[in-house]
Structure 1
Amino acid sequence: MTVDPDLDRPLTSIVDRVGDITKEGQVSLDRVVGAFEKTGFATMLIVPAAAVVTPLSGIPLFSSLCGVTICLIAAQWLMKRDRVWLPHWLGQQSLEGDKVRVAMNKLRPAARWLDKHSRARARFLFRQPLRALLPLSCLLFGALMPFLELVPFSSSLLGASVCLIAFSLLTRDGFFALAALLPLAIVVWALTALF
């Protein structure tokens, strides 16, 4: 798996790069995802996941579009595809560059904090069969987002979880993946307790 060239600050680097891309004005999803295609699936997952954590999630159906995008990227990662394919209707969805830049600026302090505090921990998560659990969880979280569109902040929480999982894959810091999987573990435990 290829990673972003700036290994010391991978998340901040992604946020800055999205900000640079959106200086062109209207920006399509194809354009944003395509800009990260060579850096690997984890990086591509961070882009829509981080976007849904921002105030952009208040735009009607934005969370659903991000969820579908996350789901498609994670599914193709699990299928070990070389490139990401997005349906034409999804790839052509666009946003005003100014709105995206404002959202990325709000994310930058959190991105810097995560970059500063990441280190190699809980590396057992990155060995098979556990490693497959990480993109599988991203697929599940992405698939749930359209169904939770009307529940306030639920998509943002799922987006944060996807972002942390992808970030942990970039930095090999399993601590963040464990923190992201905690909500899933609680849901599974609750369902098994009920049935």
Structure 2
Amino acid sequence: MEELLGKLREAASAETVSFQRILQAVEDTSFLPVLMVPALLVVSPLSGIPLFSSICGLIIAFVAGQMVFGRHHLWLPEAMTGKEIRARRLRDGLDRIAGLARWLDRNATGHGSWAMRRPVRKGCELACMTCGLAMPLLEIVPFSSSILGLAVLLFSVAMLARDALFMAMGALLMLTALSLPFYAINAVAAVML
């Protein structure tokens, strides 16, 4: 994870940086590092930028969807990858999540690797796709996109390190984030009655 953050910092050396440049910085044909990039970005304070979480969510859904359907090469539409953000904001956001990256690197050690076989892995891929598709819908609920981004990050680490504990944490966060709108609706209804 720390190596991934280093590559992203290198990509943010200009004044602005596009999503395409960010994804190219990963320099990996593997889907998992590419899936981790928008998940990391949406966990960072950058998620406060209007529509940023939606774009990251759609990228996550596209990448995870291609994993679910067994594609061998990644494809993303230019309408998503052409969007740009200020590189300084990206660097600041990466600095704030550096501690999380260190923690993930230290603790992903393959707990319950026996549980991360094909059917469970496919479930993780579907969960990532669901989280990505939910982000644009939940952007109006504060912090829900960041929680979903963290869930995707945990699912990705679980698949990469074959760690069932991280998968369970990701599932718990996903269920928490997806239940937030119901709590918000109930709170509003209680106030109105």
What is the TM-score when the length of structure 1 is the normalising length? Answer: 0.86
Helix, strand or coil at the partner of 2:12: helix
Q: Residue in 1 aligned with 2:189?
A: none
Question: Which one of the candidate residues 94, 118, 127 is aligned to 2:117?
Answer: 127
Residues matched between the structures, number? 179
Contact persistence 1:37–1:84 (CA under 8 A): no
Contact persistence 1:45–1:74 (CA under 8 A): yes
Question: Which one of the candidate residues 89, 94, 104 is aligned to 1:114?
Answer: 104
Question: Which one of the candidate residues 164, 172, 175 is aligned to 1:174?
Answer: 164
Give, in whole Å, the separation in 1 of the partners of 2:107 and 2:13: 29
Give, in whole Å, the separation in 2 of the partners of 1:172 and 1:129: 13
Give the counterpart letter for 1:109 in structure 2. Answer: G
Give, in whole Å, the separation in 2 of the partners of 1:18 and 1:183: 25
Contact persistence 2:41–2:93 (CA under 8 A): yes
Asked if residue 138 in structure 1 is aligned to residue 128 in structure 2, the reply is yes
Asked if residue 35 in structure 1 is aligned to residue 58 in structure 2, the reply is no
Asked if residue 160 in structure 1 is aligned to residue 150 in structure 2, the reply is yes
Asked if residue 76 in structure 1 is aligned to residue 66 in structure 2, the reply is yes
Give the counterpart letter for 2:77 in structure 1. Answer: P
RMSD of aligned residue pairs (Cα, Å): 1.8
Q: Residue in 2 aligned with 1:91?
A: 81
The percentage of counterpart residues that share the same residue type is 35
Which 5+ residue runs of structure 2 have no aligned equivalent? 183-193
What is the TM-score when the length of structure 2 is the normalising length? Answer: 0.87
Asked if residue 18 in structure 1 is aligned to residue 8 in structure 2, the reply is yes
Give the CA deviation at 1:60. 0.3
Asked if residue 45 in structure 1 is aligned to residue 39 in structure 2, the reply is no
Give the CA deviation at 1:184. 4.3
Q: Residue in 2 aligned with 1:6?
A: none
Contact persistence 2:46–2:90 (CA under 8 A): yes
Q: Residue in 2 aligned with 1:4?
A: none
Give, in whole Å, the separation in 1 of the partners of 2:162 and 2:118: 14
Give the counterpart letter for 1:118 in structure 2. Answer: A
Give, in whole Å, the separation in 1 of the partners of 2:174 and 2:53: 19
Give the counterpart letter for 2:152 in structure 1. Answer: V
Give the CA deviation at 1:36. 2.3
Which 5+ residue runs of structure 1 have no aligned equivalent? 1-10
Give, in whole Å, the separation in 2 of the partners of 1:29 and 1:125: 34
What's the CA shift string for 1:15-57, capped at 9, x where partnerless? 1110111113311111111232525111111100010111100
Helix, strand or coil at the partner of 1:23: coil
Helix, strand or coil at the partner of 1:178: helix
Runs of 4+ in 1 over 6 A off after TM superposition: none
Give the CA deviation at 1:71. 0.2
Helix, strand or coil at the partner of 1:27: strand
Give the counterpart letter for 1:55 in structure 2. Answer: P
